[in-house]
Structure 1
Amino acid sequence: MSTNKRMIFHLPDFIDFNNPISGSQVRPLKLINAFKEIGYNVDVVCGYGNERKQKIKKVKQKIKNGVIYDFVYSESSTTPTLLTEKCHLPIFPFLDFSFLFFCKRNKLKIALFYRDIYWNFDFFKKNIYFIKYLYLRFFYLLDLRIYNRIVDVLFLPSLRMKDFIPYKFDITIDELPPGVDKIEDKHLIKNKNLNKLQLIYVGDISELYRIDLLMKSISCDYKLNVCCRKVDWDKNFDYYRTFLNSNIRILHYSGEMLKEIYLTNDIACLFIEPSLYRSFSVPVKFFEYLSFELPVIGVKGNTIADFIDKYNVGWTINYSENELNDLLLYLKCNPDAIKEKVDNIKRIMHKITWHQRALRVKNLLLN
């Protein structure tokens, strides 16, 4: 698309454009493409410090030469802005924030997506040395104070997260969850064996994301595909080994191989042990499930459950083995109940694309 409209996409960290392996890598790439879809030339400022320094220099020169940008969209890293080098030392202490201040002085509206607040929870504090915790916390809080001075709109994964941020902002706060992709040929490969439901879980399986109750519920009437990183499985194998049976497959797929697995499943699962931290989280994988028209089983009392219930795209139950067993039995005997949820997903798909997320950023900043 030929266009004269320009925007700046800023991320103070390295992105592997060829092989994004986590939600924090996938999300920026999806949004960069979405901003292009809505008609923008996107100048991307990302990478490690030296690379960002060169890109910032070029963008600043363009602005000085009269090039007009509509706005800046930035995303935080999962580490503090000043510590995103491999050594986690503030080698480029003024690079990113001085650039954003420069943009603000040049009348550019700035939105920033604040990715996570895990550092404000006890599990983070318990897993590192106290002096390191104080060191990191200082820089996390510094980020928040500076955001309040330079950002026009602060986006969060969900508005529930706002209550856990240890800072009172004077700026607009809104939510910007992930989006869905347009997947072609979803209908070509679907599970034909209605007597054996195919379920899938993709993601972390560590202490914060336990799926043992899900595994316990898998009998001869169901198949469960668990897709996770091999390093995570090796680390957690001893915990899960007693729950394994012949109807549970452990996979380490990504890319096209993962897509093929999605296409053979009936239902996706986010049936994870509840925690306060996950009550506000919005995993990219949830919207990836919806992209493949997979209804989702979730646990009541969190942002994902609210979405499932609002749009009727799955089922929410308490974190109970009995309730899960009852639900799976019901779905096995009532395949039309699954089809109903799939139809609901199809109806809302156009409202929750990455394209729509990019439009939301633009409209909030420019209107």
Structure 2
Amino acid sequence: MSRRGLVSLTTRRSVRRKGGELATAATRRLEDRHDWYATLSARERSWVGMVAQAGIANFIDWLNGTGPADTRTIFGAAPWELTRTISLAQTLELARTVVEVVEERVEDLARPGDVTDLRVAVLRYSSEIAFGAALVYAQAAEQRGAWDARLESLIIDAVMRGEVDESIRTRAAALGWDSVANIVVLVGNSPHSPEGDDPAGAVSAVHRVAQRHNFPVLAGVQGARLVAVIGEATDPRTRVRDLAECFADGDLVHGPLVEDLAQGAVSAHAAVAGHLAAHGWPGRPRPVAADDLMAERAVAGDTLARAALIETVAAVLAEHPSLLETARTHLDSPGLEATARALYVHVNTVRYRLGRVTDIIGYDLTNPHEAFTVRVALTLGSIVEDSSKVIG
């Protein structure tokens, strides 16, 4: 039997005639009963009110057999952003409130013989709307997920290109990154193959790990590389190790810590350059900091690494002639004793001077890889100096 057959035309007309009163009562009930409603902005409350009114109108249409219990009609009264503002549980409370208002007025709305039938109709409508609300949220989540993925990809591209302007910051804010600081960019091999695997799986894996460890992250696949922009990474090594499982085998390189997304390109450039040059250090760890690959990056042609080595190593040692001489001599000698003989000083003097070198430039010349880095820096410094003399 149809709904129209269960409830008389007289009762259905009564419900339609009092639709405005029911909608007003439903909105008032929301204000009185639900604390979350009071926390909404005026615009958001107006959206909820529109949904409540649309719910009453849809119930009337459903009761009269002129339309289904249509959640698209009800929630179409408000922008889909409403699903970001109130939860599914709150939406179900909203639906129950609308139904309660109708149910409480059944005896006033229905003629005596229709009271039971109208109550049954209200309960049927309630169950259909509850199921429909869950479907609306599922669809909204899917749409939001696709939109967020596009935003995320756009932001990753902007960070990698060094083009984080106000529009990108606004888009990042939509993903909750308006106040995220302490940024580190991590670059490694993507676990998906170029033959057509969906890169969304790699990105989702990064998000799941970040959620588990409670830190913000943006991720994207660029060609064969997987890139992660990590926020609140005051301890970069820990955060990078947390995400290492999301990357395929191969080098995993993170850039230096920077203040915010606007400076993210600095970390991104270092990470990409380090990833390209990492093979130059056979004993490299995984993961490895791009700053620990300065020499390899410089040899591979990274102009920023070259400039940094000249400024932080060659230029600094040039201000300490005895230390520069000791460093050069030690790099060309097979050990401390040989360095001491070449300089005509005691071996303890060599140890002291090498300790001072470590203090002022941060590299230990007794460590083979760090010694190589200093050698590259001094070589670059000499080339620049000789070029300046020729030009001069």
Q: TM-score range by the shorter chain?
A: under 0.3
- TM-score, normalisation: structure 2: 0.22
* Structure number with higher relative contact order (C-alpha < 8 Å, ≥ 6 residues apart): 1
Which is higher, the Rg of structure 1 or of structure 2?
Answer: 2
Please identify which structure carries the higher helix content: 2
Bigger strand share: 1
